Structure 1
């Protein structure tokens, strides 16, 4: 299967992904279709990703959620496979995931939908493919015959890699993709268990401290300068029964996203509080840009390409994947 050079830029603009750490259970929250009493806050649980948490934590700590009538409990979520069922069971109301995971879930009949975009990455050296210097891997096509780690099989990172390898003339079928959590990727790359790894912030900063490792390239920047990579989903039942709560979550996060884009030092403060990075590493972080909307055209093309890569058995409709209120042409 060949992907045209014209399709790749639009594909990357659609791709939302996440690698999520193991999650703890939480007490189920009831639907709030009747709404809280006047002056009361609506309780919701939000499952975050282990990366790119800054806007969500800012929304909580700066009072944006409370301003919009929400009493939010934050948890670090698990993989999309583990997390999306928690949304369906109403154990959590919003979960960090991406279009690729949701497209895959919807194609399997799971009633979930994206309600918010979040990260909109810009081209740069921060995120991307890292290799050992002795691996003789200098281009994406050199990954043929290699073992490449992604945080979740079939997610955005893998699709970006597959598209870039194919665009560089490589044989995608000759690459072995394996699933490794971000926290274990660096050690696996250092000890030679894998040949390459796709890192997102802050892991490139950690990899850069090892003189035996080097960055190959960022499939995002190789395809397009600016791509959405992370959003939040909810269950169809919760969306239908709680439209005001969904709107409140969107509005609170929209404020947090705007604030985060305008205040990188506020993001740095969140990194100091909630990561184990050193002060020097935090000072060197280059934060992503954030956005609320999802491209309709690009997401439809992502669906087409997932189908061509045989990552889904049937195509799904765009309106089954993304809530209408955040779609843009």
Structure 2
């Protein structure tokens, strides 16, 4: 994959915010000033912000396999580079759902009162090599023991990537690196320019960076204490869930059906990826996929909230069952 293609997977923050605002305005058909409303075809419109990651495959499978249409929904997808970019639009009701929303950011927003969160459905859990710690092929960083104190790029600071990597290092009794926020599409160039010592990249960026730069895998970001940890899902607000309970429930049914398809048929996911990311069909055939959750399990989500509390990303214990869509 060329550096141009890698940059093309996402947009810079300001550009995405502007484009998202323009496209939301262009959607029209809202019944209450928000993102949801009846479309011209009589279906309920649901506006979804989504990232170009393997995490979001169930959303696109549900769209392309007609699962949303079967539920009477007209789902309109707005691409974003980071789920946090769509958080203000979700809070204002301009976006109804965020797909591939990393739980850490949204659980923190809920605790701070900036978002009244509801989890519509689990999305994915960590699987082997769905994200990796990468270093230049000639890097003096040879093992995880060399990583403490080094500069490591993550997509968002104090989030799931630093949380999981710190947990892996803690299990080995090692110190932590210094994290730098660099968007996924810019990680490859940053590694080549030696702006950071390592990057923690999720698929499909993981494979793209290795292909483009020759970077080597220092560590599997899905190993040890974070194996099968829930990391992202489909989220909305309490206001939307209460005002549009039928649409929210229909959306959940559709994405859960698509998630079951993704879990039992990885080939369907690999065929879908080139449609909404910049990976080629050949590249999609080999990238590490996440584990697609077939049910929303509060016990699994508690693993995440306990880990967040232990690392200071939540100030008090939280039972995620209280945030699930009813």
Normalising by the residue count of structure 1, what TM-score does the alignment of the two structures yield?
A: 0.82
Q: Over the residues paired in the alignment, what is the CA RMSD in angstroms?
A: 2.7
SS in 2 for 1:66: helix
Q: Is the 8 A contact 1:116 1:292 kept in 2?
A: no
2:126 corresponds, among 111, 121, 127, to 121
Q: Confirm or deny: 8 A CA contact 2:229 2:300 kept in the other structure.
A: no
Matched residue, 1:245 = 247
Shift of residue 240 of structure 1? 1.4
* Structure 1: segments with no counterpart, 5+ residues: 1-18
CA separation in 1, counterparts of 2:289 and 2:321? Answer: 30
Moved more, 208-217 or 52-61: 208-217
Displacement, 1:142?
Answer: 1.8
Q: Shift of the alpha carbon at 1:188?
A: 0.8
Distance 2:292 2:215 in 1: 29
Q: How does 1:87-166 map to 2 (within 5 A)?
A: 87-96=90-99, 97-109=101-113, 110-123=115-128, 125-166=129-170
What is the rounded CA distance, in whole Å, between the counterparts of 1:301 and 1:55 in structure 2?
A: 23
Moved over 4 A (4+): 34-37
| In structure 2, distance between residues paired with 1:266 and 1:302 | 28
Question: Which one has more relative contact order, counting CA pairs under 8 Å at least 6 apart?
Answer: 1
Partner secondary structure for residue 102 of structure 1? helix
2:157 aligns to what SS in structure 1?
coil
Q: Give the alignment of 1:264-283 within 5 angstroms.
A: 264-283=266-285
Q: Specify which of 69, 78, 85 is matched with residue 88 of structure 2.
A: 85
SS at match of 2:206: helix
Going from structure 1 to structure 2, the CA distance change for 1:158 and 1:246 (only over 3 Å counts) comes to same
**What SS does the aligned partner of 1:261 have?**
helix
Contact 2:230 2:301 in 1 (8 A): no
Query: What residue number does 2:232 align with?
Result: 230
Q: What residue is the counterpart of 1:323 in the other structure?
A: 324
Shift of 1:95: 0.5
TM-score between both structures, scaled by the size of structure 2: 0.82
Residue pairs, 1:1-329, within 5 angstroms? 22-23=16-17, 24-25=20-21, 26-27=24-25, 29-30=30-31, 40-52=42-54, 53-96=56-99, 97-109=101-113, 110-123=115-128, 125-172=129-176, 175-209=177-211, 212-320=214-322, 322-323=323-324, 325=326
